[in-house]
Amino acid sequence: MTNLAANLVATAREHGDRTAVKLDDHVLTYAQLHANAAAVAGDLRERGVGPGDRVGLVLPNVPAFPVLFYGAMLAGAVVVPMNPLLKTREVGYYIRDSGMSLVYGWDRSGDVVPEAARAAGIPGVVVPATGPTELDGRPAPDPVDRADGDTAVILYTSGTTGEPKGAELTHHNLDSNARATAETLIEVTAADVVMGCLPLFHVFGLTCGLNAAVVAGSALTLVPRFDPATALRVVARDRVTVFEGVPTMYAAMLHSPDAGGADTSSLRTCITGGAAMPVEVLKGFEARFGCTVLEGYGLSETAPVVSFNHPGHPRKPGTIGFAVRGCQMRVVDDEGHDVPDGEPGEIAVRGENVMKGYWNRPEATAAAIPDGWFRTGDIATRDAEGYHTIVDRKKDLIIRGGYNVYPREVEEVLYEHPAVAEAAVIGFAHAELGEEIGAAVALKPGARADAAELTDFVRQRLAAYKYPRAVWLVDALPKGPTGKILRRDVRPPVTSGPT
């Protein structure tokens, strides 16, 4: 394998007349996607952007994204995807940190990209949803030669501690994981229609949505901004066979007033990742929509998929399955030694999907990959059959009076309550215990429950030191760009106290 864009060239040759990307009435065949990307590659070459140069994309899920992404790949450039909701200051940081040569923005996102580009002294090109229209130079349809280990994408992590770091994902990282996804996990073919709800600027949507679809010749139908009614409508309209989402998307669709009348008969396989899927939501979604939901696990640094409940194997709801093709997993202690099955430890990963390192941060890279195994920061257990269950993020561990409490376990119980739509469990400072347990809860539409009822519900199902002493109701929980609940942004009300 040389250049990731070789997949597009091959698929355009074999399935040129088939739909590649769709947004409502706007359709690009694979031949058109390749031709438009080739025009972008030629324009980049005319601008002096060549192999290894960084190119920014600040776009939602619109056809311009795959056109520009694969155009940059054809040119041998390195793509730096960014959330279109970022502000000028944030875009400016990514531009400076990556040493970007050019950045593309959406023409409906205001002046953020032009202002950030101007301040950095680089071109800022604004394009419509359908893709760029004013291009110079001759089209460049053939991919520039790249080595497996050359960087293809710099994907910035969320920056929960310190400034965001750019994970360097290589052409081989992305190709290997996209192929493993397409061939062994979602098992897609050219006859499939994949739902593009997940942001393409996020590695889950980029690999499992766009790149996997291109490998297989599937159609990718885009939704620029997720809402459950739109998602259900698009599933019915485009006869979607594969849905990919994070748990909050599944919960929103399940509890949507439109769920009852939605035609979801085309759905075959649904996959979830990005956060732990509550078992009650998984079961409810399958029962309502008549499909199979498979849970997996991954990170930005692993391109992203690490493990999965593989089709054709026994499925264990609540687990993240076992390692995908091209990847190895271990569960280790703080010294890097394997822990016994059933004991919690940190997931360590090695394989074709693991990043080459953090951009210009050798010390951070060495800390994350101290011995050839990437430390994920996620705590899990492994059973005798090799299935892994996430206990929680290492840094989300709550230590209450000397006892370890993992928020995921408490949240799972809250999700079992019939009135609960979303829950986030956090630790907050306590003078005597060090930390106390709190829970922010959003109820299902029309449902009723109070803090005391929810507290008692958990207290009856978990050990005394685990139940939340403070429960407060919210309209909605804070979420990141993929819809993942952000525990770190949950704050207890000032008046919160034991219920």
Question: pLDDT digit string (tens) for 363-377?
Answer: 999 999 999 999 999
Please give the Cα distance from 499 to 497 (Å, whole number). 6
Confidence category of residue 395, pLDDT binned at 50, 70, 90: confident
Confidence category of residue 419, pLDDT binned at 50, 70, 90: very high
Please give the Cα distance from 14 to 8 (Å, whole number). 10
Give the closest residue to 396 by CA, choosing from 308, 320, 490. 490
3-state secondary structure (DSSP) of residue 263: coil
Residue range 473-485, pLDDT digits in tens: 999 999 988 898 9
Burial degree of 189 (CB within 10 A; 0-12, 13-18, 19+): exposed
Please give the Cα distance from 59 to 422 (Å, whole number). 28
Tokens matching residue 459: 């207290």
* End-to-end CA separation in angstroms for the chain: 59
Burial degree of 332 (CB within 10 A; 0-12, 13-18, 19+): middle
Residue 442 has pLDDT above 60, yes or no: yes
Residue range 109-168, pLDDT digits in tens: 899 999 999 999 999 999 999 999 989 999 999 999 999 999 999 999 865 456 789 999
**Phi, psi torsion values for 175, nearest 5 degrees:** -65, -45
Neighbours of 455 (CB within 10 A): 19
Residue 495 has what pLDDT? 55
Give the closest residue to 150 by CA, choosing from 171, 166, 122, 119. 171
Residue 28 has pLDDT above 90, yes or no: yes
Peptide bond into 304 cis (omega under 30): yes
Residue 89 has what pLDDT? 87
- Strand 322-323 with 305-308, pairing: antiparallel
Neighbours of 192 (CB within 10 A): 23
Half-sphere exposure of residue 114, counting CA atoms within 13 Å on the CB side? 9
Please give the Cα distance from 392 to 408 (Å, whole number). 6
Residue 496 has pLDDT above 70, yes or no: no
Percent of the chain with pLDDT over 70: 98
Rounded mean pLDDT, 56-73: 98
Cβ 262 vs Cβ 240: under 8 Å: no
For residue 107, give the amino acid letter.
D
- Top pLDDT among 432 and 166 is at 166
Cβ 222 vs Cβ 209: under 8 Å: no
> Measured in whole angstroms, how far is the alpha carbon of residue 497 from the centre of its chain?
35
**Phi, psi torsion values for 362, nearest 5 degrees:** -60, -35
**Range with lowest mean pLDDT among 25-34, 335-344, 422-431:** 422-431
Confidence category of residue 463, pLDDT binned at 50, 70, 90: confident
Please give the Cα distance from 7 to 78 (Å, whole number). 17
Sole residue written with tokens 């525990």: 487
Give the closest residue to 490 by CA, choosing from 443, 436, 439, 414. 439
Cβ 60 vs Cβ 135: under 8 Å: no
Residue 462 has what pLDDT? 86
- Top pLDDT among 499 and 84 is at 84
Confidence category of residue 499, pLDDT binned at 50, 70, 90: very low
Residue 402 has what pLDDT? 77
Rounded mean pLDDT, 309-337: 96
Percent of the chain with pLDDT over 90: 85
Give the closest residue to 135 by CA, choosing from 80, 62, 211, 67. 67
Work out the angle at residue 45's Cα, subtended by the Cα atoms of residues 169 and 170, and round it to the nearest 5 degrees.
10
Residue range 238-292, pLDDT digits in tens: 999 999 999 989 999 999 999 988 999 999 999 998 877 889 999 999 999 999 9
Please give the Cα distance from 80 to 329 (Å, whole number). 28
**Range with lowest mean pLDDT among 79-93, 135-149, 197-211:** 79-93
Tokens matching residue 176: 């290997």
Residue 358 has what pLDDT? 97
3-state secondary structure (DSSP) of residue 283: helix
pTM value is 0.89
Please give the Cα distance from 173 to 355 (Å, whole number). 7
Tokens matching residue 301: 């640094």
